[in-house]
């Protein structure tokens, strides 16, 4: 009997320990506040070039859902009509879904929108909205990336968000809009890069880019 009671005590203790672990031990926190995800498959994507501008009387926001959190960009519809119409068309076609921020330069910018994740991909077309000479690329401004050979204001699908107080860039990059919510998420992502290689140190995925108009 004594032997049987000893087994019961051990079983009870193990059961209590198991319950305690289940209900009181917090789950491990993901690094830097970002959920750990699998890198999506990179491959070229194309889309048709839009032919109509957006309604300038409406407000258009793009909600970026990432594994590091959510941020929202309000589009500069009036000053960049071709750029914003293109971006909305691509987002509605899920062009940006399951792509990564392939370039992260701490204290400067985070860059995404390339389905090939190489820095050379795009939708198969470009549009041009040359920004005014007074344009400043300050914290939270979102603009379109281009090559040095392309005219000022050229854009495809690649965009960058400024994480510096002022990136001190020339007015060559079409302004898409500015971050109106979740700037701390942008800054969090901005810390996940190698300053020398400009490559991400952790996978940051744009899971969804959702357009909302009002």
Residues 40 and 134 both lie in one domain: yes
pLDDT digits (tens, 9 = 90+) for 48-86: 999 999 999 999 999 999 999 999 999 999 999 999 999
- DSSP-derived 3-state class of residue 178: strand
Whether the pLDDT of residue 196 is over 70: the answer is yes
Whether the pLDDT of residue 23 is over 90: the answer is no
Residues 71 and 48 both lie in one domain: yes
CATH number at residue 89: 2.40.100.10
Q: Which domain holds residue 23?
A: 2-31
Whether the pLDDT of residue 20 is over 50: the answer is no
Stated pTM of the model: 0.84
Residues 58 and 76 both lie in one domain: yes
Least confident piece of the model among 27-41, 63-77, 87-101: 27-41
Domain count of the fold of the chain? 2
Instruction: Determine how many CB atoms are found less than 10 A away from the CB of residue 30.
Output: 13
Residues 20 and 59 both lie in one domain: no
Distance CA 127, CA 162 (A): 21
Band (pLDDT 50/70/90 cuts) for residue 31 is very low
Distance CA 114, CA 112 (A): 6
Residues 127 and 192 both lie in one domain: yes
pLDDT digits (tens, 9 = 90+) for 96-130: 999 999 999 999 999 999 999 999 999 999 999 99
- DSSP-derived 3-state class of residue 147: coil
**Could you tell me which residues come within 8 angstroms of residue 19 by beta carbon, excluding any fewer than 6 positions away?**
none
Q: What value does the mean pLDDT of the chain take?
A: 89
Residues 175 and 83 both lie in one domain: yes
Distances (CA, A) of 151 to 17, 89, 161, 173: 67, 22, 20, 9
């Amino acid at each position: 009997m004594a032997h049987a009671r000893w087994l019961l005590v051990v079983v009870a203790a193990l059961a209590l320990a198991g319950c305690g672990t289940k209900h009181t031990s917090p789950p491990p926190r993901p690094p830097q506040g970002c959920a750990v995800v699998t890198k999506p498959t990179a491959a070229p994507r194309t889309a048709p070039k839009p032919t109509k501008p957006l309604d300038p009387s409406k407000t258009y926001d793009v909600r970026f859902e990432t594994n590091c959190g959510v941020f929202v960009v309000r589009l500069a519809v009036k000053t960049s009509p071709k750029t914003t119409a293109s971006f909305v068309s691509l987002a509605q076609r899920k062009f940006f879904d399951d792509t990564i921020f392939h370039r992260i330069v701490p204290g400067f910018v985070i860059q995404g929108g390339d389905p090939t994740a190489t820095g050379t991909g795009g939708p198969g077309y470009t549009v041009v909205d040359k920004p005014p000479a007074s344009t400043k690329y300050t914290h939270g401004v979102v603009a379109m990336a281009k090559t040095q050979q392309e005219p000022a204001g050229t854009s495809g699908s690649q965009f960058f968000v400024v994480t510096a107080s002022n990136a001190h860039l020339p007015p060559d990059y079409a302004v898409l809009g500015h971050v109106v919510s979740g700037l701390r998420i942008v800054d969090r992502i901005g810390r996940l890069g190698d300053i020398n290689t400009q490559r991400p140190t952790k996978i940051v995925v744009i899971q969804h880019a959702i357009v909302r108009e009002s």
